[in-house]
Structure 1
Amino acid sequence: MTRIPFIEARFFDPAETRHALECRFAVHLRKLRAPHLHLREESNGIEAFEPDLDIKDMHRIQRHAKRILACREAASGLDHLRKEDRVRLGVFRDGAKLFWVCSEHHADELAASIHTDMPWMALATDLVWHAMRRSVREGWPGLRLSPILLDGPPGIGKSHWARLLGEAIAAPTTVIEATGENASFGVVGSQRGWGGSCPGRVIETIIQNRIANPVVVVDEIEKAGTPTSTKGLTFGLAEALLPLLEPMTARRWSCPYFQVRFDMSWVMWVLTSNNHRLLPEPLLSRCPPLMMRNPSFPELVDFVRREGLRRKLSDTAIASLIEALEHPFWRGRPPSLRVVIRMLTRAADIENRPSLH
């Protein structure tokens, strides 16, 4: 993995405290006054104050150290933050890491793995496959995907595909339910001064993992509400995402909570919807919808076999699930992937339940 500058801030050596600066200035002053004197240094590399400095000298040194620290704090770009927030952002002192694909062959293997598991999501997998190969071919420092909007019937596995993508490339993945978030606040954060103000889920994920290109899934984005403040201001999720989905503005995105600029252009966005026509045009222009279809019956059977083996189900349990899928009740309208996953979970629970005596 490579590193990139992620935050528009300057970080100084934390070991250079006010006391350390004062000691260093004192040593330097004594050397200026007595260049012929060989000064002894202590084991920590800093010599303590000696009696040859009077009170006036010490006051000057203290003022100088205090002034330098104040200038550093102002130059850092973080002087408006509380100490605990500055400490949290200190993880980006050396930048943030980027996940990357090591070769085009590796990209082929990853795309083939995803397609094998969910062939009905071929449009999305094909888009990711070409992006992975392009990142290698053009020598990018990390994997970068254009925002993806998966549109299609409910229960076909759009969110499951996004999680599968994160697992395949070993990137941290966070799933945000648009219907359960407080509009844009849960995603991008809220400004200080609001009750319960906090950073958004996206920046929190990056801070926790120190990875600049996580997979961020916004599920059922067309169902997000649009709260309105008492002053008539609206805070819609789709509108809040616009600067994050545009590469030019995402490179210097200003966090409402930290009020610091971050490079969010590497975040891999996967949005899902059941009806893209309910979304605003500016959002659709940034991520044109990919029309997904329902999985066919043979594809569901293959999914049960693979997922059953992955969950270590017995052959009998897998055969029973396939038999259930072949029931006349499902004739002409196969169950959704969500139903199939619930069936797999139930089968695993039954097989692993304790024996009753």
Structure 2
Amino acid sequence: MTWTTTLGLRWPILQAPMAGAQDSALAIAVSRAGGLGALPGAMLSPEGLAAELEAIRAAGAGPINVNAFCHSEPAPDPERQARWQAALAPWYAEFGLDLETVPEGAGRRPFDHAACDAIKPYRPEVVSFHFGLPAPDLLARIKAWGATVLSSATTVAEARWLEAHGADAVIAQGLEAGGHRGHFLSDDLTRQMGTLALLPQIRQAVNLPVIAAGGIADARGVAAALALGADAVQVGTAFLCCPESRASTLHREALMSEGARHTALTNLYSGRPARGIVTRLVRELGPISEAVPAFPLAGAAIAPLRAAAEARGLGDASPLWAGQNASRCRAVPAAEVVRELARGVER
């Protein structure tokens, strides 16, 4: 019996959690199709988490993965904040916004006991993490109800760390993957590799199930990942144009355009590197800026700009998260995407 069949999955296919671009609807659709649907929790309050999990369990969709971030909350840095506001001042002027009214707030929560309290009654079969693992007492609470714990590794060293600190499986996140990089031992992006290089090295280094992520969008990609030793694959970008996704119209149009071929790792939208389609903001400020506040504080000043630009039909300041392979982004039901990916398992 394989690792994924013990979870009750028909296919070794995991839907990547995509905070801000999905809710329970996509997770339900993927789980019903035989994959593992995921609920991103980093932007949800404990009450929001409970409400989404209530919907998932009411749908009777099957196993579910709840995802959370494990970042440390940064201390405010007024000098850095001032540099960030100076960099954004021309943008605020262009859209008629007042920098003095920028709201405070992080926008993303690290996993804590309140979040654990919210999800415990629903006993998700899988709980996954980005940026390492939570504190040992939190990890013990999750494992007490029998959940399988996953976390992302962008290097072999991170995979070994996760194995040593209690992860049950490792997500090998290649450099191609969309959204936030899961790195947590080093901020040096030169240490990170593409999926086809990273996957076999992590497979050799750890004795845990390994899930391949990054650049996988169709049956051929699934077959290649499995041939290189993956026990399962995780796919995100290919689901973003599905009707069950909550991606904006601007985001969907960008994903299905030629512009989706040009992505970059940028820290402008949150403070940590994340891969998305190159926008005007990224072109003009550069993808990586030292003026950006620490994660996740950068997003507070971006949010009003994004809203103002989108009100004009522009994605100039929107985080259009996408991996390097958006070639299979189509406006088809999520179940159809799962069926296409599953053909790679049957080869």
TM range (shorter): under 0.3
TM-score, with structure 1 as normaliser? 0.26
- Greater fraction of residues in helix: 1
- Greater fraction of residues in strand: 2
Higher CA-based Rg: 1
